[in-house]
Amino acid sequence: IQMTQSPSSLSASVGDSVTISCRASLSIDTYLNWYQQKPGKAPRLLIYGASNLQSGVPSRFGGSGSGTDFTLTISSLQPEDFATYYCQQSYSSSFTFGPGTKVD
Amino acid sequence: QVQLQESGPGLVKPSQTLSLTCSVSGGSISSGSYFWSWIWQPAGKGLEWIGRIYSSGATNYNPSLKSRVTISIDTSKNQFSLRLSSVTAADTAVFYCARGPGYCSGPDCYGYYGMDVWGQGTTVSVSS
């Protein structure tokens, strides 16, 4: 299953609402996860099952979608949110990640 | 709180086998409620999933790497390992181990909800 993300990068300011899209090459139901990665750090799970907020993740992060089209929304961008975001499908027994979206 | 820590050589010669270990602390790797995964990230590039193993020993691999990859588990040491054979410079990357919720029912294994605990990553360079 191939994953694509758009845009590949975006520029935003503190307080902005940000939306990142992820598309799967075939239907993955809601088996879609989102990660945040900062330079030199391991990825951090933000959203699992398309819309479920991982414990400890601020509520300004939200996920939606099903089938092939998914969205990650950051409602009010904070300074610590500048990072690269990856989607990942867990429908197949062979996971795949999207190419990432850099928010700067 | 579960923590994962990767370890292994930072430099491997071309054509040799890369071997890494992920040590699990704060929880048992024998729990039937998780899978244990390896992910890599070449410098400046995105994440790529390598494979996963369950406490039962069941494995799933990335098809593009399957011929070169072996993931194993040692419950007595509470760790799991990665072996990647016939390495080339293209295998230079940061390697992460991670845990995710999952289970096996008979021969079928599942892991639908992402990877919630990650190691800090270890850099491996392939060079002569």
**Chain A, nearest residue to B40 by Cα:** A42
Within chain A, which residues score under 50 in pLDDT? none
Q: Which residues from B are below 8 Å from A when comparing CB atoms? A: 37, 39, 46-49, 52, 60-63, 96, 98, 100, 109, 111-116, 118-121
pLDDT at B111 over 90: no
For chain B, say whether A49 makes contact (Cβ under 8 Å).
yes
**For B60, which of A45, A88, A94 is closest by C-beta distance?**
A94
Q: Rounded to an integer, what distance in angstroms lies between the CA atom of residue B78 and that of residue B28?
A: 6
A45: which chain B residues are within 8 Å (Cβ-Cβ)? Answer: 114-116
Q: How far is A24 from chain B (nearest CA, A)?
A: 15
Do the Cβ atoms of B62 and B50 come closer than 8 Å?
A: yes
Place of tokens 């989102």: A34
User: In degrees rounded to 5, what are phi and psi of residue B34?
Assistant: -140, 160
Do the Cβ atoms of B52 and B62 come closer than 8 Å?
A: no
Q: According to the model, what pLDDT value does residue B75 have?
A: 94
Q: According to the model, what pLDDT value does residue B103 have?
A: 85
- Interface contact flag, A90 B112, Cβ < 8 Å: yes
Q: B82 to each of A19, B4, B51, B95, how far by Cα in Å? A: 36, 14, 9, 10
Structure confidence at residue B105 as a pLDDT band (50, 70, 90): confident
- Interface contact flag, B111 A91, Cβ < 8 Å: no
Q: According to the model, what pLDDT value does residue B122 have?
A: 98
Q: According to the model, what pLDDT value does residue B106 have?
A: 83
Q: What average pLDDT is seen over chain B?
A: 95
pLDDT tens-digit readout, A30-43: 999 999 999 999 99
For residue B12, count CB atoms less than 10 angstroms from its CB and return exposed for 0-12, middle for 13-18, buried for 19 or more.
Answer: buried
Q: Any alpha helices (H) in A8-104, and if so which ranges?
A: none
Q: According to the model, what pLDDT value does residue A68 have?
A: 98
Q: Rounded to an integer, what distance in angstroms lies between the CA atom of residue A62 and that of residue B107?
A: 35
Q: For residue A7, is the peptide bond before it cis, meaning its omega torsion is within 30 degrees of 0?
A: yes
pLDDT tens-digit readout, B19-66: 999 999 999 999 888 999 999 999 889 999 999 999 989 999 999 999
pLDDT at B108 over 90: no
Would you tell me which residues 54-83 of chain A have a C-beta closer than 8 angstroms to some C-beta of chain B?
Answer: 54
Q: Does B104 or A63 have the greater pLDDT score? A: A63
pLDDT at B110 over 90: no
